[in-house]
Amino acid sequence: MLQTIMTEIGVGYIELFLMFLVAFIASVFHSVSGFAGALIMVVALAPILGIKTVVPVVAVAAVMNNATRLWVFRRELDTQIYFSLIVTALPGMVIGAFIFVYLPVHTVALVLGIFMILSVPGRRFMNNRGVKVGRWGFAAVGPVYGVIAGVTMGGALMLAPFFLGAGLVGSQIIAITGAIGVTLNMTKVIVFGASPLLNFPLICVGLILGLCTIPAAYAGRWILERTSIRVHTILVEVVILAGAAFFFSQGLGGYF
């Protein structure tokens, strides 16, 4: 069956091994930083699968990845913030996923890149001024996040300054992004599954990649427990800026 799937998606054993390795490394990083696991997988796997194919495949894998991280860090989940965000974000996720199916994503990528560039000094400003983000703040940003996350991968990066502004750190960020990621990627899988983008062989590939992320979540927790809050905060900011560069490259690439 594996050989049939490989033939269907046009990859060999070397490419398949590289895909498994990318899934594991991306999940370890995701479990340490709380962000960018799916984004790293998309960037690394796009040359193999193609950008329009890789997003649905990664969405399937991300369901398992985020579910595992949520289980590992379940005791750290702030359910009030999660529900405040997801209630307003879910409709936007559905809309964003449909936009991805039918429209190019270059403009959205540029907007997200600009937002992320501004988010690092913005987060520092909020922190220095003692600005706090409460439940209503997450409810307000939910619709914008939902649409952007539905269209792109790695949209949770835009929530980083809000999490930090709400006082969430370390494993608390890992837990809430895991919960949000399960909801988001299940929504994407349902929408993509109803479109020509996601067929049975691609679902199987996504599930196999997802299995590779399960041990990575535990490895990530081991690393996170030995990482200081300051180092973790700096890591999050580095990921934000790296994500901004990626989105700019994707956005500008659609116009040149």
Give 84's pLDDT tier (boundaries 50, 70, 90). very high
Q: Is the pLDDT of residue 32 over 90?
A: no
Condensed to tens digits (0 to 9), the pLDDT of residues 159-174 reads 877 887 788 877 888 8
Lowest mean pLDDT among 23-37, 59-73, 81-95, 124-138: 124-138
Q: Residue 127: what pLDDT?
A: 61
The domain limits of the chain are 2-253
Q: Evaluate whether 235 touches 42 at the Cβ level (below 8 Å).
A: no
What is residue 242's predicted lDDT score, i.e. its pLDDT? Answer: 76
Question: Which residues, 6+ apart, have CB-to-CB distance to 5 below 8 Å?
Answer: 201, 204, 205
Residue-wise pLDDT for 45-71, tens only, equals 877 887 778 889 999 999 988 898 898
Q: Is the pLDDT of residue 123 over 70?
A: no
* Position 213, amino acid: T
Q: Give long-range contacts, CB 8 A cutoff, 24+ apart: 2-5.
A: 4/201, 5/201, 5/204, 5/205
Q: Please state, for a pLDDT cut of 70, what percent of the chain lies above it.
A: 85
